[in-house]
């Protein structure tokens, strides 16, 4: 494991990238309505990033390798029982009652900002609203653990407790991650109690990583679709996710991807 401690100059660049990623989520909100396609949401975000922000959408072509195509779009759109990495499509229209996670990662000046939130489309069933709300609470409880001297495993412990208290399960196949010049750096940030003695570590000032719990209404198991990206719940019951990029500071933490609606 090679966890990079960011310099003051890098932290300043990460603050900028984080703010820009948050601004894409703020920009797209009024468009997330019944009848729009996820392909259109992708186009609006892509054009905003490239033309207005002058940022690079990190997902586009991410993960490409010989014989393996990269991610084909600029944002991830994950609806209802899609856990993460849903691919935007002009054929997929939002309808009243859907809930959708939009996950934005921008690159500015070589550094990444990564954040996602749940949007409610039209009238959403109370049990789905509750899943989204509890998942956001899980993320905030994880964020509250972050300070120098705490351990990485403290984050997953409080997230899993809150999810289980609400009779939900925690996805284990996908996790948070260090972030900086790299999209996915060390460490892996688990959202459950899975470290054992290995890969856990003490948090230190200057570390930057994401916390991005995926919480399921039913069982924790996921399945990868044949597009090799889209992850869904095995039991097809709904799943929710929220994500922020977090800096460990001397006294605690700074959320680099905070939106206006979250500032109190
Ligand atoms: N933004 C996702 C994350 O939180 C990763 C998306 S990778 C992609 O780590 F290729 F699917 F875009
Ligand atoms: Co992430
Ligand atoms: Co993300």
Output the pLDDT for position 134.
99
Q: Considering the domain boundaries, does residue 21 fall inside one?
A: yes
SS3 state at 263: coil
Q: Considering the domain boundaries, does residue 263 fall inside one?
A: no
Q: Considering the domain boundaries, does residue 171 fall inside one?
A: yes
Collect residues with CB below 5 Å from ion ligand 2: 114, 210
Q: How many domains does the chain have?
A: 1
Residue 95 CA to ligand 3 centre (angstroms): 23
Three state DSSP letters for 68-133:
ECCCCCCCEEEECCEEECCCCCCCCECCCCCEEEEEEEEEECCEEEEEEEEEECCCCCHHHHHHHH
- In this predicted structure, the answer to whether residue 52 has a pLDDT above a threshold of 90 is yes
Output the pLDDT for position 199.
85
Question: What range does the domain containing 178 cover?
Answer: 8-257
Residue 243 CA to ligand 3 centre (angstroms): 6
- Cβ-contact 139, 212 below 8 angstroms: yes
> What ligand 1 atom has the least distance to the C-alpha of 243?
4
Report the nearest-CA residue for atom 12 of ligand 1: 59
Q: Considering the domain boundaries, does residue 48 fall inside one?
A: yes
Q: What share of residues in the chain are helix, strand, coil (percent, to 5)?
A: 30, 25, 45
Report the nearest-CA residue for atom 11 of ligand 1: 85
Collect residues with CB below 5 Å from ion ligand 3: 103, 114, 243
Output the pLDDT for position 67.
87
What percent of the chain is predicted at pLDDT more than 70?
100
Query: What is the tens place of the pLDDT at every residue in 230-254?
Result: 999 999 999 999 999 999 999 999 9
Residue 247, phi then psi, degrees to nearest 5: -100, 130
Average pLDDT over residues 37-46: 99
Report the nearest-CA residue for atom 8 of ligand 1: 59
> Between 38-47 and 8-28, two packed helices, what is the crossing angle to 10 degrees?
140
Q: Where are the alpha helices (DSSP H) in the chain?
A: 8-28, 38-47, 126-144, 152-165
* CATH number of the domain bearing residue 154: 3.90.230.10
Q: Considering the domain boundaries, does residue 242 fall inside one?
A: yes
């Amino acid at each position: 494991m090679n966890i990079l401690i960011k310099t003051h100059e890098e932290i300043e660049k990460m603050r900028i990238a984080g703010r820009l990623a948050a601004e894409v989520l703020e920009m797209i909100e009024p468009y997330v309505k019944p009848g729009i396609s996820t392909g259109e949401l992708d186009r609006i975000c892509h054009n905003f990033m490239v033309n207005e922000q002058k940022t690079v959408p990190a997902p586009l072509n991410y993960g490409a390798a010989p014989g393996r195509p990269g991610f084909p779009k600029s944002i991830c759109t994950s609806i209802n029982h899609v856990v993460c990495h849903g691919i935007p499509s002009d054929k997929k229209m939002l309808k009243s009652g859907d809930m959708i996670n939009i996950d934005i990662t921008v690159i500015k000046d070589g550094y990444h900002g990564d954040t996602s939130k749940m949007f409610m489309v039209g009238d959403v069933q109370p049990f789905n609203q509750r899943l989204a709300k509890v998942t956001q609470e899980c993320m905030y409880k994880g964020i509250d653990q972050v300070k120098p001297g705490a351990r990485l495993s403290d984050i997953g412990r409080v997230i899993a407790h809150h999810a289980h208290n609400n009779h939900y399960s925690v996805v284990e196949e996908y996790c948070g991650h260090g972030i900086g010049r790299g999209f996915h750096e060390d460490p892996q940030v688990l959202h459950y109690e899975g470290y054992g003695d290995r890969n856990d570590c003490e948090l230190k000032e200057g570390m930057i990583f994401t916390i991005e719990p995926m919480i399921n209404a039913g069982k924790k198991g996921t399945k990868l679709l044949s597009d090799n990206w889209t992850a869904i719940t095995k039991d097809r019951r709904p799943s929710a996710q929220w994500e922020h990029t977090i800096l460990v500071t001397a006294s605690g933490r700074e959320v680099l991807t905070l939106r206006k609606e979250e500032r109190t």
